[in-house]
Amino acid sequence: MELPLPVIYDWLRSVLWPLFRVASMLMVMTTIGGGTVPTPIRLGLAMVITAVMAPVLPTPPAIELFSPQGFLVGAQQVLIGLVVGFVSVLVMSTFVLAGQIIGMQTSLGFASMVDPSNGQQVPLVGQFYLMLATLMFFGVDGHLLMIKMLFVSFETLPIGEPLLRTSLPRLSEFVALTFANALTISLSAATALLLINFSFGVMTRAAPQLNIFSIGFPVTMLSGLIILWLTLSGIVPHFYATWQQGQEVICDLLQLTCDIP
């Protein structure tokens, strides 16, 4: 059985361009795109998802694959997937940054470990917050929601249509919002520790003979652990608020109509 070359090209267009969009999202997406997940597994997962999506996707434009316009369309699909996956990374980075701020304030910042996502040494408190946020992300089926939104985007943002320039500023605003959200999460713990350090300053002025370094360090660490335990209950509402903001950004980028409760 021989297939005409145009038929083969049509099949490649219907598979390769969706694969670029799906694979680029999975390569960057939080946890799945981390260094702990081997690249062949991510690529295999992208191929499986694309194989399920491809039969029901809209027909791609009749553009030659091996042409300047074809390479441009492929680059557009990669960019769309990267941007969507990057939003989920920003959501997780909010809690990593909040944990780093709390760890430095509580004198627990010296305890560090290698972050599997970027291979850098980060405070252990930041990794603890990252694990909590990751569990909540998978608990609310965030990965499935992102795949669903990417699937719907093939209708709202068809192959060959680039991202709107008006939606890209939302991504830069969300980057700035990441730092603001991290500061909001760590503000209560930082304020409590500021009061503790202020009380040690008063003690030093009242009794200069006290060795404030030998007393303050263990007390600050113990107080930091207690404050960390007391503030854990506020992680859940902060995660829901941050994840909803991330969904809104993805919806704006993909021109979706999101009905977020």
Quick: pLDDT tens for 231-250. Answer: 888 888 999 999 999 998 99
More confident residue, 72 or 11: 72
Query: Tokens 């903001």, residue?
Result: 245
Distance CA 189, CA 195 (A): 10
Q: What is the pLDDT of residue 111?
A: 56
Interior angle at CA 251, CA 43 and CA 78, nearest 5: 30
N residues, the chain: 261
Distance CA 87, CA 174 (A): 8
Distance CA 76, CA 112 (A): 38
**If you average pLDDT over every residue of the chain, what do you get?**
82
Distance CA 224, CA 213 (A): 16
H/E run at residue 65: none
More confident residue, 108 or 238: 238
Structure tokens at 77: 């699909």
| Average pLDDT value for residue range 123-135 | 84
Hey, which residues does 112 pair with through a beta bridge?
Answer: 123
- Given CA atoms 126, 128, 134, 137 in this order, what sign does their dihedral have? negative
Q: What confidence tens digit (pLDDT) does each residue in 45-62 have?
A: 999 999 998 888 888 887
> Which of the 8 DSSP states describes residue 194?
H
Cβ atoms of 102 and 189 within 8 Å: the answer is: yes
| Average pLDDT value for residue range 136-160 | 89
pLDDT for residue 110 is more than 80: no
pLDDT for residue 36 is more than 80: no
Confidence label for 187 from pLDDT (cuts 50, 70 and 90): confident
Interior angle at CA 125, CA 230 and CA 185, nearest 5: 55
| Average pLDDT value for residue range 156-184 | 83
Cβ atoms of 216 and 204 within 8 Å: the answer is: no
Least confidently predicted of 22-26, 67-71, 114-118, 216-220: 114-118
Q: What is the pLDDT of residue 113?
A: 56
Cβ atoms of 247 and 258 within 8 Å: the answer is: yes
Q: What is the pLDDT of residue 65?
A: 77
Cβ atoms of 92 and 137 within 8 Å: the answer is: yes
E-strand ranges in 78-219 read: 112-114, 121-123
Distance CA 247, CA 141 (A): 13
Structure tokens at 153: 């985007």
| DSSP helix, strand, coil percent of the chain (3-state; round to 5) | 75, 0, 25
Radius of gyration of the chain (CA): 24
